[in-house]
């Protein structure tokens, strides 16, 4: 049986973030391909982490800058190593290459961290989101990690194009893997317009775009909605709610910070409209995908909808300004026929773009092609080889220096 080693930036929390749910999809994929999986991470455990041991997946705790990982990975001798975000490739990629040179290295980007950070900086500096630094230190680190791996999983079609046009990455190193849906939800199970009430948003508060969206919603958009809908409520859910967020709770204004949701699907499915005024970010937005899954129309921004609907109609509205956002939200909330049409548009999006089978079959073939032609594949990747050589040396020496320093303290 083939061995897969997953090196996680964090332990997967499917009830806390879209990244956690996406990781479970990848684990299921490799299990279906008959891989024995070990999930390892240097992160501290959370009470919300998924108990993947129930799936027969082994758990391993690893340390940064410690040669114990060398012994661990040599003994495991994985056929494939999946790095959860580029920071894990930076920390452990050189060790994998040194001790398991024939292991296929796959990088799961989730979203382009450098793009998200550059957009956040542009917002803070009152620049447009198109006026960003594509050659920041973070961007160069992230792109270098892609070059050093055999394949990068890219969740956004926008980012697929960006990586090829801005950074000249070859298409054979990139694989577009959006959110995946094993089967279509049954619309008959969706709650009706009349059975629903109020607005909802949900998201992990440790993710900066989510906190910014909640704050912006409270300061700019909700007052406009509340002025027209006197009895409507805005329900805010999310993991790891900080004190600054709970202080926004205002029952008199119908702005309710509810915190952790034991059943995210239930709270989104009982709301009439999902609001996501995201002003920066990258990748695909889990809250908007989840809204489609339970038949909840949504209002978002161009950033929120980016790469999520191709040329199909959005299941709700995409708004450019605060006034447009509030007007669209009010219209969806009050007009049953508009709401029902938006719900059906969400169903069309799901069945057109997100059904798993074609994506899974293509990923299976891509990995097989690399496996059967690994030497030729790497011989063509001269940039990756150069980065591997120099990065291995610099990262190796830095890691060994930190390790020696830790031993002496």
CATH number for position 304: 3.40.50.2000
Average pLDDT over the chain reads: 94
Q: Contact 31/2 with Cβ under 8 angstroms?
A: no
**Do 140 and 270 reside in the same domain of the chain?**
no
**Do 276 and 158 reside in the same domain of the chain?**
no
pTM higher than 0.85 = yes
Confidence (pLDDT) at 399: 62
- CA separation (Å) from 323 to 58, 225, 276, 279, 363? 51, 9, 14, 15, 42
**Do 335 and 376 reside in the same domain of the chain?**
no
What tokens appear for 160 in the block?
């697929």
**Do 152 and 71 reside in the same domain of the chain?**
yes
- pLDDT higher than threshold 90 for residue 193: yes
- pLDDT higher than threshold 90 for residue 36: yes
Confidence (pLDDT) at 320: 95
Confidence (pLDDT) at 48: 86
pLDDT-based confidence at 392, cuts 50/70/90? Answer: low
**Do 368 and 344 reside in the same domain of the chain?**
no
Confidence (pLDDT) at 262: 87
Confidence (pLDDT) at 401: 59
For residue range 22-34, list pLDDT tens digits in order: 999 999 999 999 9
Q: Which range of residues forms the domain containing residue 233? A: 187-354
Confidence (pLDDT) at 38: 98
**Do 370 and 381 reside in the same domain of the chain?**
yes
Say how far apart CA 10 and CA 211 lie, in whole Å.
20
**Do 346 and 399 reside in the same domain of the chain?**
no
Place of tokens 């161009």: 302
For residue range 88-124, list pLDDT tens digits in order: 999 999 999 999 999 999 999 999 999 999 999 999 9
Cα angle 356, 312, 302 (rounded to 5 degrees) comes to 100
**Do 207 and 169 reside in the same domain of the chain?**
no
Question: What's the mean pLDDT in 206-225?
Answer: 96
Q: Of 335, 354, 373, which closes a domain? A: 354
In the DSSP assignment, the letter for residue 280 is S
Number of domains in the chain: 2
**Do 347 and 315 reside in the same domain of the chain?**
yes
Say how far apart CA 241 and CA 254 lie, in whole Å.
18
For residue range 339-383, list pLDDT tens digits in order: 999 999 999 999 999 999 999 999 999 999 999 999 999 999 999
**Do 326 and 370 reside in the same domain of the chain?**
no
Q: Report helix, strand or coil for 367.
A: helix
């Amino acid at each position: 049986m083939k061995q897969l080693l997953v090196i996680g930036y964090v332990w997967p929390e499917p009830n806390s973030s879209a990244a956690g749910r996406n990781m479970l999809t990848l684990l299921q994929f490799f299990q279906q391909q008959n891989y024995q999986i070990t999930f390892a991470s240097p992160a501290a455990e959370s009470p919300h982490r998924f108990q993947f041991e129930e799936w027969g997946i082994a758990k391993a705790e690893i340390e940064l800058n410690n040669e114990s990982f060398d012994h661990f990975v040599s003994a495991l001798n994985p056929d494939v190593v999946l790095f959860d975000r580029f920071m894990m490739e930076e920390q452990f990629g050189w060790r994998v290459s040194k001790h398991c040179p024939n292991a296929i290295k796959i990088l799961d980007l989730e979203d382009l961290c450098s793009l998200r950070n550059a957009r956040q900086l542009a917002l803070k500096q009152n620049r447009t989101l198109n006026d960003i630094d594509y050659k920041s230190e973070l961007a160069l680190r992230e792109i270098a990690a892609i070059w050093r791996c055999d394949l990068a999983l890219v969740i956004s079609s926008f980012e697929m194009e960006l990586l090829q046009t801005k950074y000249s990455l070859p298409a054979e190193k990139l694989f577009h893997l959006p959110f995946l849906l094993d089967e279509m939800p049954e619309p008959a199970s969706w709650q009706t317009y009349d059975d629903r009430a109020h607005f909802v948003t949900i998201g992990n508060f440790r993710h900066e775009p989510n906190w910014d969206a909640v704050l912006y919603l409270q300061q700019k958009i909700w007052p406009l909605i509340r002025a027209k809908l006197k009895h409507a409520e805005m329900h805010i859910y999310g993991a790891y709610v900080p004190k600054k967020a709970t202080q926004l709770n205002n029952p008199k204004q119908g702005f309710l910070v509810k915190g952790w949701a034991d059943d995210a699907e239930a709270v989104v499915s009982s709301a009439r409209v999902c609001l996501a005024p995201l002003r920066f970010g990258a990748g695909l937005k889990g809250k908007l995908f989840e809204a489609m899954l339970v038949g909840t129309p949504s209002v978002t921004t161009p950033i929120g909808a980016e790469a999520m609907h191709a040329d199909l109609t959005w299941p709700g509205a995409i708004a450019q300004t605060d006034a447009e956002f509030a007007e669209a939200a009010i219209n969806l909330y009050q007009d049953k026929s508009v709401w029902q049409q938006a719900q059906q548009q969400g169903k069309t999006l799901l069945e057109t773009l997100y059904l798993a089978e074609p994506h899974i079959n293509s990923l299976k073939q891509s990995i097989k092609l690399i496996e059967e032609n690994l030497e030729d594949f790497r011989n063509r990747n001269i940039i990756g080889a150069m980065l591997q050589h120099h990065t291995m040396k610099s990262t190796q020496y830095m890691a060994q220096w930190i390790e020696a320093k830790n031993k002496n303290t």
